[in-house]
Amino acid sequence: MNLVIFGAPGSGKGTQSEKLIEEYNLHHISTGELLRDHIARGTELGKLANTYISNGLLIPDELMIEVLDEIFKNDPEKVAKGVIFDGFPRTVAQAEALSEMLKEYGSEIHAVVGLEVEEDELIRRMLERGKQSGRSDDNLETIKKRLNVYHRQTSPLRDYYMEKGKYHSIDGNGTVDGIFGLIKKALDEETA
Ligand code: AP5
Ligand code: MG
């Protein structure tokens, strides 16, 4: 089973992914974490990504797709076992590239879990995390830019996956465990 966990910045993608990888024995591919790791190690990719991330902008599609392609090539086992994609795809171009890449491995995206959270709550969560996270994008100015970018470039994917019958809308406003329960219910109904 390959899943996409989808939602605005701060919607809980990383938090719910941790629980999902245990429950369903999946690999976790978080493009945000991957890029932050490159920044910490000072790689060429990290240097380039840093400017985009700290300005709340998306890394260009072409580069991001190349990075994903590398992961698949270096570790085809991941795709064989099943992956939860967190933070990818973020544009329709990325979604189409992902579908092509998975096709090469005889696979596809089976379900998209969309976490839907009120904007005030998103901002509250990210500001709270920003007190400790050291993330260059967890400050009010950049959070506002990230939310704008989400509405402009990423949210159209909701309709994209809805039309394919893959989108599961989840109320992401409650407690971590409560939300996880809703996700499990949606996925278990899907695979029943
Ligand atoms: P990325 O790392 O993907 O960040 P994001 O989408 O902005 O989302 P976050 O990681 O901030 O939030 P989340 O949804 O994971 O929520 P979390 O579980 O942490 O991307 C960062 C940047 O990298 C992008 O802006 C872009 O520049 C670049 N990038 C990455 N992928 C890219 C791509 N594919 N293409 C182009 N560029 C890309 O939760 C948030 C906080 O809330 C946490 O502190 C958590 O503990 C807390 N929390 C979680 N759930 C709850 C709850 N139910 N109740 C209360 N608190 C909660
Ligand atoms: Mg995250």
What pLDDT, in 10s, does the model give residues 35-60?
A: 999 999 999 999 999 999 999 999 99
The answer to which of 21-30, 66-75, 162-171 has the lowest mean pLDDT is: 66-75
Assess if residue 189 is contained within a domain: no
Pick the ligand that lies closest to the CA of residue 127: 1
The pTM of the full predicted model, rounded to 2 decimals, is: 0.97
Say how many Å lie between the CA of residue 106 and the centre of ligand 1.
Answer: 29
Assess if residue 75 is contained within a domain: yes
- For residues 116 and 179, the answer to whether their CB atoms sit within 8 Å is no
Question: In this predicted model, what pLDDT tens digit does every residue of 107-148 receive, in sequence order?
Answer: 999 999 999 999 999 999 999 999 999 999 999 999 999 999
pLDDT for residue 188:
92
- DSSP codes joined into one string, 137-181: T-SHHHHHHHHHHIIIIITHHHHHHHHTT-EEEEE-SS-HHHHHH
Assess if residue 17 is contained within a domain: yes
Tokens at 23, concatenated: 């429950």
Assess if residue 191 is contained within a domain: no
Q: Which of 19, 78, 135, 158 is catalytic?
A: 135
Query: Is residue 124 among the annotated active site residues?
Result: no
Assess if residue 192 is contained within a domain: no
Pick the ligand that lies closest to the CA of residue 13: 1
Assess if residue 188 is contained within a domain: no
Number of domains in the chain: 1
Assess if residue 168 is contained within a domain: yes
Burial classification of residue 162, based on how many CB atoms lie within 10 Å of its CB (0-12 exposed, 13-18 middle, 19 or more buried)? middle
Q: Tell whether ligand 1 has an atom less than 6 A from the beta carbon of residue 14.
A: yes
The closest-lying atom of ligand 1 relative to the alpha carbon of residue 17 is: 18
Instruction: Read off the CATH number of the domain in which 97 is found.
Output: 3.40.50.300
Q: Average pLDDT for residues 144-156, to the nearest whole number?
A: 98
Dihedral angle over CA of 96, 151, 168, 170, nearest 10 = 150
Tokens at 62, concatenated: 């072409």
pLDDT for residue 139:
97
Whether 191 has a pLDDT exceeding 80, the answer reads: no
Domain of residue 114 covers 3-183
Whether 192 has a pLDDT exceeding 90, the answer reads: no
Query: Is residue 146 among the annotated active site residues?
Result: yes
